[in-house]
Structure 1
Amino acid sequence: MRFLTLRLGLFALALAPLSALAAETPQIIAPESDRFTLQPTEGGFLRMNKETGAVSFCTAKEGLATCRLGADERAALEAEIERLRAENARLKLASRAPPPSTLPSEQEFERAMSFTERFLRRIMRLFKEEAPSGGSL
């Protein structure tokens, strides 16, 4: 057990300079696709989206990259937010409106009742015709 503890301690000691080096120099991980390009600038780097042309200013601090949107991207996002707000308001109004009436009109109701009445009269007539005359079951 003591031997295992000693080996783990030596392993951790060997990794210490590597972890310090990794903490000092932030790693920029390139995306899997070639969608973005990174260009170093004073105080950070510019990230350009090759598909849309949108540019963001990025900084790396304590191993964490933070990007701020450019003015064009921000305007596009604000326009989308406004569109979604308007759609949300429209949907809320639509949900408050009373649902359209699914009840039949008076004429449709009377027609259905007429069919029902004729059906019942015909059934009653058939029962009377088919009923045994005066005999017991």
Structure 2
Amino acid sequence: MKTAIAILILALLGGATLVVVGGAAMAQSIVPGPNAAPAGASTPSGRFEMQPVEGGIARLDTMTGEVSFCRLEASRMTCQQSEEDRERLEARIRELSGPVAVVPEGRVTPLAPRAAPPASDRTAEDEEIDRAIDRMKQVFRAFRDIAREFEEAPEPADPNRT
């Protein structure tokens, strides 16, 4: 019922009259508001409908009928949770925070640590990887040796230099 009242207030602030059917949170606009589309125009039917209200924006969830108050802050829209939504989330938290069944000590046997695979399990692929690594070591050592040669050998001074 709170939701139905909130929808009615939202509609009155927005300039449209709403009909609430059977106390459910279903609303239908019968008098177009200032933002209503012209007759015959198709309007997108998204999950949320927004309506500017004093101090922010009212957001109607068309699937659940919940109304949230939203504010634009630093180019972000933040919405407050409705009471129904907050209660539902708190109930779920309580449900998940219940006692956790603890296994009594001694009822579970620990797994044995995994042994390293025997050397015979080495594949041709492993050997190829080892050869590639050895080759890369040779290349890097050769590069290091060339770099050391440049550091150690000073350039001879040009005798004709002034």
Q: TM-score, normalised on structure 1?
A: 0.41
Which of the pair has more CA radius of gyration? Answer: 1
More helix by share: 1
